[in-house]
C-alpha cells in the first residue's frame, strides 16, 4: 500500500512515534473522563432537599477542595448557563490517532503485520478490504442491535454483543495474522465506542440542549440512549486496552487457539470492570475479580510452553550455523541497517547481525521462534529445521563455539 512520502521508513518511524504518543494522550483523557462520569453517576445519592428535578447529588473532595455535583432528572428548570462543558474531542482524537496508526502499520505494511500466509494467503488489497469491511459492519450491526427490541433488555443485549464480538474474534483469527487479528478486533471495538459518541451520545445531547433553549420538554429517549451507549463504552474499555497491547506478546496472539484466548481475557476484563462499577454503588462482590484472576491463571498454565520432543537429544549446531540462520532469516529486519522494506531501524532495537547481539537476544529470540511469531508471516521462509536448530542451540545455553 503506497503511503506517499510516508513510504520512507524513517518518516514512518516518526509518524508511528508521534501518532502513538497522541493516541496515548487522547486515550488517557477519554478513558479518565468516561470512568469518572460513570463512577459519579453510579455513586449519586438522593437529594437531601427532595427536589424532584434532581436525580442525584454527590459531595466529594479532591485537590485540596470540596465539590458539590448534582445531576438533573432531565433538564434544569432554570435554564442552561452561558457556558456548558462538552466532552467529545477526547474520544474523537483517540480514534483518529488510533485509526491513523492502524492504517500506517497494519494496512501500510499489511504483508508484514496483517497477513500470515499460513493462516490465509491473501493479496494485500483483499486483506485491507476485509479489515475495512469488518470495521464498518461491526458498528452497523451493533447499532442496529441496540435500536432493536433486544436493546431494551441490557442483560440479553450484553450477551448478544459478547457473542457477536466472539464471532468477530474467530473470523479475524482465521483471516489475519495473530497480532493482526487482535488489533482488528480492537479496532472494531474502538470504532464502535467512538461511533457511540459521535453518532448517538453527542447528537442526543444536542437535542436536549436545543429543547431546553427552546423552552420545550426534552425527549427523554435521547438521554436514555446516551446513557446506554456510555455504559457500553465503559465496559468495553478494558477489553480494548488489552487488545491494543496484546500484539507485543506472541504467547497469546500466536497460540493455535488465539481466538479463544482473546475471548477469555476480554471476559476477564469485563468482570473486573463490573466489580468497580458495583463498588461505585456501594456494593462489593469479590467473586468478580476472583473469577477474572482465575481466567488469567488458567491461561497462564494452559499457554505455558511445553518441552518439544523434537529437541530432546537434538544435535546442537555450531555457532557459525546459528549465525548463518540469523543472517538469512532475521537480519533483514534486525540489523543496524535493515534491508526489509518498511523498516528504518531494527524493531524494538533488537539486532541480530553480530555474534554478540545474537547471543544477547538468544532467549528472547527463542520465545519468538517457538511461538512462530517471527519472522512475521514467515516472510523470510525460515524452515522448521532451522527453527529447531536455533532452539536446540538456545536450550544448550547458547554456546559461543
% of the chain surpassing 70 pLDDT: 98
Q: Is the Cβ–Cβ distance between 285 and 278 less than 8 Å?
A: yes
Q: Is 82 helix (H, G, I), strand (E, B) or coil?
A: coil
Tell whether the model's pLDDT for residue 1 goes beyond 80: no
pLDDT at 92: 96
Predicted pLDDT of residue 241: 95
304 closest CA partner among 371, 392, 354, 207: 371
Question: How big is the chain by its Cα radius of gyration, in Å?
Answer: 25
- pLDDT band at 7; cut points 50, 70, 90: low
CA 120/CA 271 separation, integer angstroms: 33
Q: What is the pLDDT of residue 3?
A: 55
Task: Report whether pLDDT(4) > 70.
Answer: no
What pairs with residue 69 in β-bridges? 58
Cβ-contact 172, 181 below 8 angstroms: yes
Cα separation of 46 and 52, whole Å?
Answer: 10
Over residues 332-352, the mean pLDDT reads 83
Q: What is the pLDDT of residues 171-212, one digit of tens each?
A: 999 999 999 999 999 999 999 999 999 999 999 999 999 988
On whether the CB atoms of residues 179 and 251 are closer than 8 A, the answer is no
The owner of cell 433486544 is 150
pLDDT at 44: 93
pLDDT tens sequence across 32-78: 999 999 999 999 999 988 888 898 999 999 999 999 999 988 788 88
- Check whether 19 has a pLDDT greater than 90: yes
Amino acid at each position: 500500500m503506497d503511503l506517499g512520502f510516508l513510504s520512507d521508513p524513517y518518516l514512518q518511524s516518526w509518524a508511528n512515534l508521534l501518532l502513538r504518543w497522541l493516541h496515548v494522550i487522547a486515550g488517557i483523557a477519554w478513558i479518565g473522563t468516561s470512568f469518572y462520569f460513570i463512577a459519579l453517576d453510579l455513586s449519586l445519592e438522593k437529594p437531601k432537599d427532595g427536589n424532584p428535578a434532581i436525580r442525584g447529588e454527590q459531595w466529594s473532595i479532591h485537590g485540596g477542595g470540596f465539590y458539590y455535583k448534582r445531576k438533573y432528572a432531565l433538564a434544569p428548570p432554570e435554564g442552561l448557563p452561558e457556558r456548558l462543558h462538552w466532552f467529545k474531542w477526547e474520544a474523537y482524537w483517540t480514534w483518529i490517532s488510533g485509526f491513523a496508526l492502524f492504517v500506517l502499520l497494519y494496512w501500510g505494511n499489511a504483508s508484514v503485520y496483517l497477513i500470515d500466509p499460513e493462516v490465509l494467503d491473501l493479496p494485500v488489497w483483499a486483506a485491507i478490504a476485509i479489515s475495512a469491511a469488518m470495521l464498518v459492519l461491526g458498528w452497523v450491526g451493533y447499532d442496529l442491535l441496540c435500536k432493536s427490541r433486544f436493546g431494551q433488555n441490557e442483560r440479553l443485549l450484553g450477551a448478544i454483543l459478547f457473542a457477536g464480538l466472539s464471532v468477530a474474534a474467530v473470523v479475524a483469527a482465521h483471516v489475519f495474522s495473530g497480532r493482526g487479528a487482535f488489533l482488528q478486533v480492537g479496532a472494531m471495538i474502538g470504532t464502535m465506542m467512538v461511533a457511540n459518541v459521535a453518532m448517538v451520545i453527542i447528537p442526543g445531547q444536542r437535542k436536549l440542549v436545543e429543547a431546553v433553549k427552546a423552552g420545550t420538554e426534552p425527549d427523554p429517549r435521547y438521554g436514555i440512549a446516551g446513557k446506554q451507549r456510555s455504559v457500553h463504552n465503559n465496559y468495553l474499555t478494558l477489553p480494548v486496552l488489552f487488545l491494543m497491547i496484546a500484539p507485543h506478546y506472541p504467547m497469546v496472539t500466536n497460540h493455535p487457539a488465539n481466538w479463544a484466548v482473546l475471548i477469555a481475557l476480554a471476559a476477564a476484563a469485563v468482570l473486573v470492570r463490573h466489580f468497580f462499577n458495583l463498588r461505585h454503588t456501594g456494593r462489593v462482590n469479590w467473586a468478580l475479580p476472583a473469577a477474572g484472576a482465575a481466567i488469567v491463571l488458567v491461561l497462564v498454565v494452559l499457554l505455558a510452553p511445553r518441552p518439544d520432543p523434537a529437541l530432546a537429544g537434538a544435535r546442537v549446531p555450531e555457532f557459525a550455523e546459528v549465525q548463518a540462520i540469523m543472517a538469512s532469516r532475521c537480519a533483514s529486519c534486525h540489523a543496524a541497517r535493515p534491508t526489509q522494506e518498511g523498516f528504518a531501524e531494527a524493531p524494538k532495537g533488537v539486532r541480530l547481525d553480530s555474534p554478540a547481539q545474537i547471543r544477547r537476544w538468544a532467549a528472547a529470540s527463542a520465545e519468538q521462534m517457538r511461538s512462530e511469531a517471527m519472522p512475521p508471516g514467515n516472510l523470510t521462509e525460515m524452515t522448521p529445521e532451522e527453527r529447531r536448530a536455533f532452539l536446540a542451540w538456545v536450550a544448550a545455553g547458547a554456546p559461543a563455539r
